[in-house]
Copies of this chain bind each other. A is one copy, B any other.
Amino acid sequence: MNALKFCLVILWLIQVKANTTCLPNDIHALILARGGSKLITYKNLVEIDGLSLLSRTIITIRKSNCFEHIWVSTDDEKIALEATKYGALVHNRPEKYALDETSSVESVKEFLEVHKYVQNFALFQCTSVFLREKYIKQAVSKFKSHDCVFAVKRSHNLRWKSVNGQVLADNFNMEARPRRQDWKGDMVEAGMFYFSKRNLAMKGLLQNEKCAVVEIKGEDGLEIDSYRDLDIARCIVNSNK
């Protein structure tokens, strides 16, 4: 019986270790943070409780201890300074890859063209302010056996569609509306992170049909797109103090 208990404790310790540490790996964390941003000026540098969105993301990524390096790709000096201050490496992004129209994957490709040795990367969006170490660790673990890993959350939206002027139920039966507790909901992309590989990105993709997902809590899914989102994030951070 004592031997059994001993084994259980060892198994538990192994599990705890797997959940709380990162084994050495060659993944590079990458944050795209350009100077121009349409809706919120210098969005990456706006502060919540005294820390910029950029620094918050870098701090959480650093704490996870899961990455070879943390890169910030930027066209802007102020952002580069903030990145360096929090221990990230700066990739100087040419202006033509920091336009409103530039897609994330184009910026990733530009980064990979310069840093030929990077095979595996994890793109983080610092607008997802409730990034947590545990999500990163789950993603790293799943990335070992998948081409790509990204964050999802559950949505319990009842969807409707317009068909020839009629409004019709899309994802449920009007005569037997699903109750929230009886329905897992839709799985939707959370935008928080995208773990992927060089060969995928060079094809212009962050995902393929061999991806795994990390499900984040709905309440961690807020993304900063507007000043109102920023107000909400500040409130949540303050109320969690």
**Which residue numbers of A lie inside 8 Å of B, CB to CB?**
103, 152, 155, 157-162, 166-170, 174-175, 179, 186-189, 204-205, 207-213, 219, 226, 228, 231-232, 234-236, 239
Contact = CB atoms under 8 A, between A and B. Distances in A.
A218 B168 CA distance: 21
A158 B166 CA distance: 24
Contact of A189 (B157, B188, B239): B157
Contact of A174 (B155, B208, B219, B226): B208
A208 B167 CA distance: 9
Contacts of A175: 204-205
Contact of A167 (B157, B162, B212, B235): B212
Given A219-B228, A232-B236, 8 more contacts: A158-B188, A159-B188, A160-B213, A167-B213, A174-B205, A175-B205, A228-B239, A232-B235
A186 B159 contact: yes
Given A235-B231, A236-B228, A160 B152 contact: yes
26 contacts: A155-B155, A155-B159, A157-B186, A157-B188, A157-B189, A158-B188, A159-B186, A159-B187, A159-B188, A159-B189, A160-B187, A160-B188, A160-B189, A160-B213, A161-B187, A162-B187, A166-B209, A166-B210, A174-B205, A174-B207, A174-B208, A232-B232, A232-B235, A232-B236, A234-B235, A235-B235
A232 B189 CA distance: 22
B236 A168 contact: no
Contact of A168 (B161, B204, B209): B209
Contact of A231 (B157, B162, B212, B239): B239
Contacts of A174: 205, 207-208
Contacts of A234: 235
A199 to B, nearest CB: 15
Contacts of A152: 160
B160 A157 contact: no
Identify which of A155, A167, A168 gathers the most chain B CB atoms within 10 Å of its CB. Answer: A167
A212 B168 CA distance: 10
Contacts of A226: 219
A204 B208 CA distance: 44
Nearest to A163: B209
